[in-house]
Structure formats: structure tokens, C-alpha cells
Structure 1
Amino acid sequence: MKQWLENLALIAATFWIGGLWVVGIVAYELFKLMPEAQLAGNIAGQLFRMMAFVGMATSIYLLIQRVYQFGTNALKQSFFWLVVLMFVLILISHLGINPLLEKFKLEAMPKDVMESVFADRFATWHGVSSIAYLLECFLGVFVILKIR
């Protein structure tokens, strides 16, 4: 049973971390390929939202599986704390920064947020969100390297 759970953890982590990188690349390309930035942003936002849910579910599974497999010794492993850090980054982005960005978009209506008085604040918080996502991607590489 433990071997099956460990294999599932490897598959789930690979799916999650690979998805993070793919969505990041796709979002970047969307803005290059689509003439309307607002539409590209909406599509990218939906992709990031989807990955947040995948990340929350996967990180919770990985943490539970690790504690099940190693008991309290899991708390001494860098893998465990990398996943915790990634989970915290997801929560900060998904529950903190993203609602703020959505608020700026709604308050800017009917204009595009980048043409409104909220453009500077939106750009700043979008940058913070981008850095958090990039950090999550790089931490994910270490998670994959530490999983076994």
C-alpha cells in the first residue's frame, strides 16, 4: 500500500509542477499572440486559478502521504517544508493577491484596468503575484528532486 501511495505522490507532484511550468509559459505566450491584453489576461487568470486548485489538492495529498509514510520524521525533511512553502504561496496568491487584482479590475469598469487610476497598483500587485508564481515554479523543481 505504501508503495502505491508513494507512486501516486510522484505522479501527482509531476503533474502539479509540470502544470505550473506549462501554464506559466502559455500565459506568457498568450500576451504575445493575442491582440487584446484584457482577453489574454482573463484566459491566463483562469489557467492560474485552475493551477491553484490543483496545487492546493496536490500539496495537501503530498503532506498527508509524507506524514503517513514517515510519521513525525516527515517534519525533518526538506521535501515536507518545500511543499508547505509552496502551499503557503498558493494561499497568499489565490486568497490574498488575486482578489485584490479582481477588485481593481471591477473598480476600473468600464475601462481596462491598465487605462484606469488603478493601473499602478494593479501593476505592482501583478508583479508581486508573478514573483510568487515564479518562486513556486522553482521550488517545485526542488520538490521533484527531493521526492525520493
Structure 2
Amino acid sequence: MTRAAGRWSAARVLVAALWAGALWVLGYIAAPAVFGIVGGPLAGDIVGAFLRRLAWISIACAVLMLVLVRLSPDLERGRARYLNLLVLAMLACALVMSVGLQPAMAALREAAGPGGVRSSPVWTEFAVLHGVSQLFHLIEAVLAALLVVRAR
């Protein structure tokens, strides 16, 4: 591998690791810690703010990865296509969560009122949306692991 090819490879791995790390830390460390310490509606507000920032990180990393894959001279066509598909699948997960599920969940939390969503009639709908959101986060996190491994 030439020095230039090594730099392109390192840049792809760095972006993939940043994206994956953000997903893993928020989803499996920060969010559970916030709910364990703070609890209740405030924890939901804090994690919601984290998730909005994560959506922007995901969009930025996706755009950067797509550019890196497009410009990388060391990637053969099939491998570049595979990486592009991984990135687009991860971006799709992020967009479904940030544009679809999170706003719907926020509306349900607001509709629930000061007593919180758990004690309201919208709890079941909220719980279903939350479960679907967790599934999309898990899918994105698994795809991120593949991206980190395959990005070099």
C-alpha cells in the first residue's frame, strides 16, 4: 500500500470510528447512565438533546465517508459500492430516528403532560415507538461495527 493510499484508508477508519463511537457511547453508556441517575421526564429531555446532536454527527460522518469513498484511489469498485451501501444504510437509520421517530415520541411526551408519559394513556404508543427507535439504533450500531472493520 502506498503512503497516499494509507492516508485515505486511515481517514476512512477515523471517520468510521468516530461515528461508531458516538453511537455506542450514547446508546449504551450515556443514555442508560442518565436514566439511572436522573430518571423521569428530565432524563428524557437530556437524552433527547443527545440524540439530536447524534443525528447531526451521523449526517456529517455519512457525508464525509461518502466523499472519502468516492475520492479514495485505493478502493476497487465493488468495495467502494459495499462501503457506500453501508454508509447509506446507517444514514437511513439515523434519518428514520431523527426525522420520524424522535419527533413523534417528543409529541407524545408533550401530550402526556406534567405527569409524564408513563402515567398517561399514550404510554403504549410511546413504548412501541421507543422500541422501534432502539431497534434502529441497534441496527445502525451493528452496521457501524462492519463499517469500522471494512473501512480500511
- For residue 13 of structure 1, report the CA deviation from its aligned partner: 1.7
- For residue 64 of structure 1, report the CA deviation from its aligned partner: 1.9
Listed as ranges, the matches of 1:34-113 within 5 Å are 34=38, 36-69=39-72, 73=77, 77-113=81-117
The two structures have a TM-score, normalised by structure 1, of: 0.88
Q: CA 1:146–1:75 in structure 2 vs 1: closer, same or farther (change >3 Å)? A: closer
Structure-2 residue corresponding to 1:8: 11
Structure-1 residue corresponding to 2:144: 140
Q: Is 1:32 matched with 2:36?
A: yes
Percent sequence identity over aligned pairs = 27
User: Which structure has more RCO (C-alpha within 8 Å, separation ≥ 6)?
Assistant: 2
For residues 92-118 of structure 1, the C-alpha deviation after alignment (integer angstroms, 9 at most, x for no partner) is 110011110011111112331111111
The two structures have a TM-score, normalised by structure 2, of: 0.86
- State the Cα RMSD in Å: 2.1
In structure 2, how many angstroms separate the alpha carbons of the residues matched to 1:109 and 1:76?
A: 48
Q: Is the 8 A contact 2:16 2:61 kept in 1?
A: yes
Count of matched residue pairs: 147
Q: Runs of 5+ in structure 2 lacking a partner?
A: none
